Structure 1
C-alpha cells in the first residue's frame, strides 16, 4: 500500500478505531460511518454503525470505490457520541401524558409537556410536517416550541397554534436520539 493521504487516513482509523464517514461512487444510501478493521491492497474491512450508534456489521469495501472520506467533522463527532451512549437511546423515559378524554386534548397535552420542561415531543402541524422540541410557553390558543434538529442542533423558537396540532409523538427512538444529541451539544450529558 502506498503512502497516500487516503491510505494514512484508513490506517489511522484502523489503529485508533477512529470514526470516519465513507462516501462511495454510485453509493445511493449516502455515507457509511464506522472504523476500519482491516486493510489489504484492494479492500478494507469496515465496522459500520447505524444512525443510532449501534453496530451494524462489517462491510468489505473496494478501495477504488471510495469517493471521499469525512473525518473530524460535526457528523462524525455526532456518531462518536451516539456510539458511546447508544444504550441510553434504548431506554424509554417514564414520562406519560393523561388526556382525560377531553375535547381540548391538544391543549392538555401541550400543557403537560410545558410543565415537564425537559421532555421533548414532536408536533405534527396541520397534517403535514413534524416540529420537534421543548414547549417553552403555552396559552389556550398557541404555544412556543424551542425546536431541535435531528442531530441535536438548537434551531431557536417558533410559535404554533394549538388548534393546528394534528398529532403528537414523544419518546420514540428518533426523539430519544435527538434528545441525547441536544444534551451532548449543551454539554449536559
Structure 2
C-alpha cells in the first residue's frame, strides 16, 4: 500500500477528515472524509466550512494534487461538523437600533467586553472579526479572532474609519465556537 492509499484508507476506516486539492483548481479544496476509493476513483463526502454535508464528490485519483490531514483546518472542521447545529442558529443577543450621528460609538459600546458574541467590523474595506475590548470617543480595540478560532492579538482603529458591522453572522458564530473550543483545550 502506497502513501496515498494509506491516507485514503485511514480516512475511510477511521472516519478521519482531510482536505483534497485537485489539479483543476488551485484556489479551493474539498474537506470531508473518504467513503470509498479504487485505483482510479475516490468517493468523498464533502462538508461546507459550516460543518454541513454538501454532497458526494467523485474525483479521479490522478486529479488529486495533494491531501492535507492532521492539520489545524481539518481538526477544526471536524469539531465544527460535530457541532454544526450550534452555529446554525443565531445566539440570543439584542442590540439596540440607533439613529444618531454617533451610531458607531453607540454600537461599539453595546459590544464592548461582550465575549458571548463575535462581531466583524469593516475598516478601509477590510473586515476584522473578534471581541470589542475597549472603546473611547475616537478609537476602539478589537481582539482579532481568525476563521479557525485562533486569537490573533489586539488591533486599535479609529472609529471614523469604521464603515460597517456584521454581528452574530454564521462566520462569526463558527469563530466563536472554535475560539471557545481552543480555550477549553488549553484549560484541560
Taking structure 2 as the reference length, what is the TM-score of the superposition?
0.92
Match of 1:131 in 2: 128
In the alignment, is residue 95 of structure 1 matched against residue 96 of structure 2? no
- Sort the Cα spacing of 1:115 and 1:79 in 2 relative to 1 into closer, same or farther, 3 A: closer
Q: What CA distance in whole angstroms lies between the structure 2 residues aligned with 1:80 and 1:9?
A: 16
Once the two structures are TM-superposed, the CA of residue 119 in structure 1 deviates from its matched residue by 2.1
Q: What CA distance in whole angstroms lies between the structure 2 residues aligned with 1:100 and 1:43?
A: 56
Q: What CA distance in whole angstroms lies between the structure 1 residues aligned with 2:115 and 2:172?
A: 15
Q: What CA distance in whole angstroms lies between the structure 2 residues aligned with 1:115 and 1:23?
A: 40
Unpaired segments of 5 or more residues in structure 1? none
Match of 1:83 in 2: 81
Q: What CA distance in whole angstroms lies between the structure 1 residues aligned with 2:161 and 2:27?
A: 34
Q: What CA distance in whole angstroms lies between the structure 1 residues aligned with 2:16 and 2:176?
A: 24
Out of 173, 180, 184, which is 2:177 matched to?
180
Match of 1:14 in 2: 12
Question: Alpha-carbon deviations, 1:141-165, whole Å to 9, x = none?
Answer: 2111111112211110011112222
Runs of 4+ in 1 over 6 A off after TM superposition: none
CA contact (8 A) 2:113 2:131 kept: no
Q: What CA distance in whole angstroms lies between the structure 2 residues aligned with 1:55 and 1:166?
A: 35
Aligned length: 185
Match of 1:27 in 2: 25
Q: What CA distance in whole angstroms lies between the structure 2 residues aligned with 1:5 and 1:19?
A: 16
- Of Structure 1 and Structure 2, which has the larger fraction of its residues in strand? 2
Match of 1:165 in 2: 162
Once the two structures are TM-superposed, the CA of residue 75 in structure 1 deviates from its matched residue by 0.9
Q: What CA distance in whole angstroms lies between the structure 1 residues aligned with 2:115 and 2:15?
A: 37
Taking structure 1 as the reference length, what is the TM-score of the superposition?
0.92
